[in-house]
Amino acid sequence: MQSEAPTSSPRHVAIIMDGNGRWAEARGLPRTAGHRAGVERVREAVRTAAEAGIDYLTLFAFSSENWRRPEEEVSDLMGLLRFFIRKDLAELHRENVRVKVIGCRQSIQPDIRALLIDAEDRTRDNTGITLVIAFNYGARDELVRAARKIVQDVQSGVLDAAAIDEAAVSARVDTAGIPDPDVVIRTSGEQRLSNFLLWQAAYSEFVFLPCLWPDFDRAAFHEALAEYAGRERRFGAVSAPGIAVGS
C-alpha cells in the first residue's frame, strides 16, 4: 500500500535500532547494557513519534538472524522484551497506543508469543499511534510465508492465480493493512537494510544517522524527520515539469 502523505509529514516511520553493542563497548560495559539503554530510547521514540503526529512506528526489535548471537545475549534480549511488554503495556494502552507485531510466530518461546498476542488483543481498538514491533522478523522469511499463503489461497479457490498482483502480495505480508513506510531510519552509521521490510520499503526514503541507538534521543529523531522533510518523493514519476527521473 503506497502512502499518500506529503514528504513533510511521514505517516509511517520504520527504524533499524542499531549500535547498542558498540555503545556499551565504548563504555567498557557488556553488550547487554547497550540493549538495556536501548529500551529507554524505545519508550522515548514512541512518545516522540506520537507527538509528531506519526500514525505508525515500526521498530526492528529482533531479527530472524539475531538467534545466531551468543546465547546469553539472546536470552537477555528476550528478557528485555518480556520486561518491556509487562511493564510498559498498561501505559502504552493508557496512551491509546495500538500494538501490532510482525515476524514469524513459530520458534519463539510460548510465553513471549502469549505476551505479544495479549498486547495486540488488548490494544486492538486503540486509535492513537500504532507501534509495530518487528520480532523474529526477516523480510525474506515474510515473503516466503506470503508465497505459501498465496499458494494455499489459490488451491482453496479463494484466489484466482491470474488475479495475483501487487495488492494480493501486500495483503499477505505481515504488514497487511498498514501503509508502506515513508522513511526507514537506521542508526549507528551502517547503511544497509539487513533483511528489513524489503517489500514495503520499495519507495521509502532512507535516513542513515551516525548516532548509536542508545543516543537516539528526541532531538536525533527530529533531525531524521527534518532530513526526510527535505526529500522529494517521486514514486517513479517525474520531478519538476520536463525533468524525467527514474526512481
Just list the catalytic residues. 18, 66
| Least distance from ligand FPP to the Cβ atom of residue 211, Å | 12
132 lines the binding site for ligand FPP (CB under 6 A): no
With CB under 6 A as the contact rule, the residue among 18, 141, 142, 182 that binds ligand FPP is: 18
Tell me if 187 sits within 8 A of 223, measured CB to CB: no
Residue 20 Cβ vs ligand FPP, minimum distance, rounded to whole Å:
4
Q: Which residues 143-182 are close enough to bind ligand FPP by CB under 6 A?
A: none
Between residue 211 and residue 240, which ones bind ligand FPP under the rule CB under 6 A? 213
**Residue found by looking up cell 523480510 in the block:** 139
How many helices (H) and strands (E) in the chain? 7, 6
Question: Shortest gap between Cβ of 97 and ligand FPP (angstroms)?
Answer: 13
Take residue 36 and report the three cell numbers written for it: 538495556
Q: Does the footprint of ligand FPP cover residue 21 (CB under 6 A)?
A: yes
Contact 12, 56 (CB under 8 A): yes
Question: In whole angstroms, what is the distance from residue 165 CA to residue 161 CA?
Answer: 9
Query: Is the distance from CB of 185 to CB of 128 less than 8 angstroms?
Result: no
- Exactly one of 15, 33, 39, 49 binds ligand FPP (CB under 6 A); that residue is 39
Provide the 3-class DSSP secondary structure of residue 147.
helix
Question: Least CB distance from residue 22 to ligand FPP, whole Å?
Answer: 3
- Cell triple for 165: 498482483
Please identify which residue in 10, 19, 138, 181 interacts with ligand FPP, judged by CB under 6 A.
19
> In 3-state terms, what secondary structure has residue 20?
helix
- Binding residues for ligand FPP, rule: CB under 6 A, are 17-22, 35, 38-39, 42, 59, 61, 66, 80-81, 84, 133, 188, 213
